[in-house]
Structure 1
Amino acid sequence: MRTRSVWVLDDEDDPIVDSIAAGIGRTPARLLAYLLLRAERETDLTTNVHLQIGTGTNRTTISEAMARLEARDLVERTTVSAAASGGRPRTAWQPAAGIEPTIETTYESHARALLELAESFRGGAATEPRAEAAAPSDSPIEFALNWRPNALHVPIYAAIAAEWYDAFGVDVRLEHRDGSRRALERVVSGTAELALAGAATVVRAREAGEPIVPVAPLYQRAMTVLYTVRETFGEPLQSVDQLEGRRVGMPPNAETRLLGRLFLSQITFDEDIAVVDTNGEERDALRRGEADVVTGSIADPRELEREGATVDVLPVTDHFPIYGPTIIAHKRTLDERAREIGNVLAGTTGGWAAARRDPGPAAERIAAESDDPPERIRRTFACAAADFGTSDAVRERGWGWHRAEMWDRLRTALAQGVLLGDAA
């Protein structure tokens, strides 16, 4: 009996798999990484048998994934001759380029796919007729972020630190705004090409007729929480039922308020809950006893824990899924500067992969612009990425993928909670 060995992908190859997966999804990334790495080790072409054994993937899944890789020009299909294969000719594949150029091409093609996806979300408010695509511009892309520099911005800072925006020839200028609405207004006014804004804020703006388009969620789930300290609440906060008759503090005109109100609207006794406006930090309202529970982001309860308080948390998205902070653009910008926006998306895909691999360089940059030490920024991002950054869509298609039904579900929930209008 003739035997032969087959090289197998293992855990040591995960860094390359992870880098590719950010731009195409986990299964195609494993197959593409196998092709790239095997080409460096073996001289014969890679067949279906190699892929099945080497990646542990079944034939049907291989067929579907390889079709996607071929469509993006990342691999080339060929044939192993009958003489070489000891029988009839067999299909084989080889990577179209080496590892680094393949990763760049993966991100470029992913950006094009995200732009095509954005086209399907253009509906809503009517705007001026579609403009002809303009010639590429060398002017910077102004990117308005939804808050001061913090751990949740790590992927964007990682794209800068790892020079991914430079790699795709785009000059990204960051500006920081006080909240999602302020960031969104920069896009509406045309003073910024892109903004990062909470999903509920985006849906409300589109409902109000603003010509904005969700392009890519930076995180797949919102990170809004309800939290309290044991000293104020008087008992462990473990379920929504305990909110009856309580005061819930929320900041005015904020994404966390929208999501907090949405959360409460799903509760049958929501009329027995008093919503208290907080001015300044919500944590201060807890300390002063002005609220029993407050809304915030995932990093806020940790601040109180570091001060020695016993903190209890109810994550809003444990009860219904909502996209997290999302990159948005004006419809006109998508028409006139599609290539540059695509380059930003490609660079941010690289930034996401770089941040998951090592958030350190981005954390150092953010620490230099904030009061948080780098290690705290690293830990907060690692938690956010693990708990809120992935989904079936990301595992299947890559970073930033989103689906119409999720946006429709959020709009329906906001409408049912009477939260689509100005009164929210």
Structure 2
Amino acid sequence: MLPIKLQLDWKPNAQFAGILVAHHLKWYEAHGIDLQICPWAPYLNQVDVLKESGNVIISTEDNLLIRGRENGQAIKAIATMMQYSGIGWITLKSSGINSISDFKGKRIGIHGDGETAIKITLGQFGLDPNDVEIIEIGYDYPQLLQAGDFDAIQCLVMVEPIELADEGFEIQVIPAYKWGYEVYSQVIATSERLITAEPDTIKGFLQITFDGWRYAFMHPQEAANIVVSQYLHESNEPMQEKLIKALYPLFIGQLGPEKLGWMDTSRWAKSIEYLTNYNVIQQPFQPEEIMTNYFMEQIYGAEETSFRS
């Protein structure tokens, strides 16, 4: 068995249902992978975890990965779970804020991984980051909304809005990808060392992962049961099932379920351009330096590709 540490960028909820289902059903184990799933911790940059020794795979935002590459880390994206970022912002309906244009002069709460998203999205509408007050916040969404200290707060559009609506909040959701921020999210990445040393293991990990996602989307109730009973006891099945269904359009994008995980070099080039234009990185580079479709080509290019159902 080859031990692999998988570092998530959030708690083990429905955002990772495909992985959790495959793990619970022992699909990774059957392929010789001893998978250790590690939840996110406050202020953790998942890309930094790739500096550890051992076999590490992470889920992260594409901008964090690009910045890690610029800083000299030998790392690459090998697939993406989400075709579109789930980053967005929520406001109370009573605020009257319905679009990015309405952010001007407002106080916006963000998390560390959302700074790039807010800057780029503002720029799509001729706004400068100085036109708004941007402050990093925590994750107690009900308290933040009730306190009224922020006009809008960052969220994951397929998670917190559903949870808050369930608690009785009347909110407006502003998804970043619908306002010009079209980037990959929950990107699966690892070190170039592991890519070179264990190509067959990585291919197997990815095939199992996306088979797990197809299974979760086909059986959302069963997947929700697995998430709650095995990994996230504090949640409930109806909520996790709603989240799985809400994730579906973000995962399939325009590709369909048959090509889950696929990445396009032109979209990576656009992300690199975004970060260069906003001085997040100083030197642009080619998409192939930060991503590879090699493994997904191996999986989807196989003459006899069969998916678990």
TM-score range, shorter chain: 0.7 to 0.9
Contact 1:186 1:192 in 2 (8 A): no
Partner of 1:415: 276
C-alpha distance in 2, partners of 1:228/1:344? 38
Question: Which residue number corresponds to residue 139 of structure 1?
Answer: 2
Describe the shift of the 1:221–1:246 C-alpha distance in structure 2 as closer, same or farther (beyond 3 A): same
Give the counterpart of 2:250 among 369, 372, 388: 388
RMSD over equivalenced CA pairs, Å:
2.1
CA distance in 1: counterparts of 2:210 and 2:156, whole angstroms: 23
Please tell me whether residue 274 in structure 1 is matched to residue 133 in structure 2.
yes
Change (3 A) 1:382 1:259: same
* 1:45 equivalent in structure 2: none
Q: Return the match for 1:259 from 98, 117, 138.
A: 117
Amino acid at match of 1:285: L
Cα deviation, 1:25-77, whole Å, max 9, x if unaligned, reads: xxxxxxxxxxxxxxxxxxxxxxxxxxxxxxxxxxxxxxxxxxxxxxxxxxxxx
CA apart distance, 1:301? 1.9
Task: Give matches, 1:101-250, under 5 Å.
Answer: 138-178=1-41, 181-231=44-94, 233=95, 235=96, 237-250=97-110
1:420 Cα deviation from its structure 2 partner: 3.1
Map Cα deviations across residues 357-414 of structure 1 (whole Å, 9 max, x no partner): 11334322321332210121111111111x201133456x611110111111011112
**Is 1:215–1:328's contact at 8 Å kept on the other side of the alignment?**
yes
Q: Write the deviation string for residues 260-319 of structure 1: whole angstroms up to 9, x where unpaired.
A: 233223332333211122134354333212110111102112222222221001110012
* Paired residue secondary structure (1:418): coil
* Alignment partner, residue 284 of structure 1: 143
The structural deviation recorded for 1:204 is 1.7
**Structure 1 residue identity aligned to 2:29:** D
Secondary structure at the residue paired with 2:135?
strand
1:341 to 202, 207, 210: 202
Query: Which string of whole-angstrom CA distances, capped at 9 and with x for unpartnered residues, describes residues 192-212 of structure 1?
Result: 421111122112211222111
Q: TM-score, normalised by structure 2?
A: 0.82
Residue by residue, what CA displacement relative to the aligned partner does 1:2-42 show, whole Å, maximum 9, x if unpaired?
xxxxxxxxxxxxxxxxxxxxxxxxxxxxxxxxxxxxxxxxx
Bigger drift between 351-360 and 209-218 goes to 351-360
1:159–1:262 CA distance, 2 compared to 1 (3 A): same
What CA deviation, in whole Å up to 9, does each residue of 1:179-226 have, x standing for no partner?
A: 695322222223442111112211221122211100110111110111
Alignment of 1:352 onto 2:213: yes
Q: How does 1:61-76 map to 2 (within 5 A)?
A: none
What's the counterpart of residue 227 of structure 2?
366
Q: Distance in 2 between matches of 1:409 and 1:180?
A: 27
Amino acid in the other structure paired with 1:332 = R
Task: Give yes or no for contact 2:55–2:194 (8 Å, CA) kept in 1.
Answer: no
Report SS of the residue matched to 1:326: strand
The letter for the 2-side match of 1:334 is: I
Q: 1:361 & 1:171 partners in 2: Cα distance?
A: 23
State the secondary structure of the residue aligned to 1:401.
Answer: coil
Check conservation: 1:394, 1:400, Cα contact below 8 A: no
Amino acid across the alignment from 1:229: L
> Letter of the aligned partner of 1:161 in structure 2?
H
Task: Give the 3 Å change call, closer, same or farther, for CA 179–403 of structure 1 in structure 2.
Answer: farther
Tell me which amino acid in the other structure corresponds to 2:108. V
Aligned partners of 1:169 and 1:343 also within 8 Å: no
Which residue, out of 329, 336, 341, partners 2:190? 329
User: Is residue 239 of structure 2 the alignment partner of residue 376 of structure 1?
Assistant: yes
Q: What displacement does 1:164 show? A: 2.5
Q: CA deviation at 1:349?
A: 2.2
- Give the CA deviation at 1:152: 0.4
Aligned residues: 277
Q: Kindly state the Cα deviation for residue 325 of structure 1 after the two structures are TM-superposed.
A: 0.6
- Contact 1:180/1:201 (<8 A) preserved: no
TM-aligned CA distance change 1:140 to 1:183, over 3 Å: same
Query: Aligned pair in 2 of structure 1 residues 384, 179: CA closer, same or farther (>3 Å)?
Result: farther
Provide the TM-score with structure 1 as the length reference. Answer: 0.61
Aligned mates of 2:244, 2:275 — CA distance in 1: 28
1:177 Cα deviation from its structure 2 partner: 2.0
Larger Rg: 1
